[in-house]
Copies of this chain bind each other. A is one copy, B any other.
Amino acid sequence: MNTIITVSREFGSGGRELSRRLARELGFDYYDREILTEIAKKTSLSEDYVRQVLEDKPHGLYPITTGRSFLYVDTQPLQQASAVFSAQQEIIRELAGKSSCVIVGRCADYILRDEHPFRIFVYASMESRIARTRSRAAEGETLTDKEYQKQIQSIDRARAKYYSFYTDMKWGDKYHYDLCINTTNQDIPKLVPYLAKMFM
């Protein structure tokens, strides 16, 4: 039977690095952004649009009705968002059926709940997430700590909103995960081999 590990992560916590390293250590497949490409192919929507629906603008999933009569609501964005989520669901199930893997984000923990994946949540203190985000910033980017914090919080708010929209559960609530890892004082490359042993 395939071992499926899903990783949800706060922005800047190093959850993606941890996932990639964990997959490599275990010789498992690793799925993250490539899922977007697959969804775009399946839905004939542009990859940018898919990313927007899944990452940047989950509030676009709600039809805007303010100031319009119900009959004039443009339901196309909502239908497209549903198509994106359906495609994502299908792709994630296909991938999980194919081989042991680590899947980052994308409500995979919820989509695969009947397969009982091992669900990890990676988080860290705001201070540590700001430091990490700064160390990975594009050259020439000069944001203040406050600006980074705003950016981080906005991305996490979007993730939380998207997750609860599709799963009806609270993102980051420890009861939805098997293991919650605080990377604040952790050396991720050092931690991963130990973590991997749990699945060997």
Contact = CB atoms under 8 A, between A and B. Distances in A.
Interface of A: 116, 121, 123, 125, 172, 174-175, 177-182, 184-186, 191, 194, 197-198
B175 A182 contact: yes
A121 B174 CA distance: 10
A191 B182 CA distance: 19
Binding site of A, secondary structure by majority: helix, strand, loop or mixed?
Answer: mixed
Per assembly, the copies of the chain total 2
Contacts of A184: 178
27 contacts: A116-B185, A121-B174, A123-B174, A123-B175, A125-B175, A172-B174, A174-B174, A174-B180, A174-B182, A175-B182, A177-B180, A177-B182, A178-B181, A178-B182, A178-B184, A178-B185, A178-B186, A179-B180, A179-B181, A179-B182, A180-B180, A180-B182, A191-B198, A194-B194, A194-B197, A194-B198, A197-B197
A118 to B, nearest CB: 9
A15 to B, nearest CB: 14
| Interface-centre pick from A116, A125, A180 (highest chain B CB count, 10 A) | A180
B178 A179 contact: no
Given A174-B180, A179-B182, 14 more contacts: A116-B185, A123-B175, A125-B175, A172-B174, A174-B182, A177-B180, A178-B181, A178-B182, A178-B185, A178-B186, A179-B179, A179-B181, A194-B194, A194-B198
A172 B175 CA distance: 11
Nearest to A176: B182
Contacts of A186: 178
Contacts of A182: 174-175, 177-180
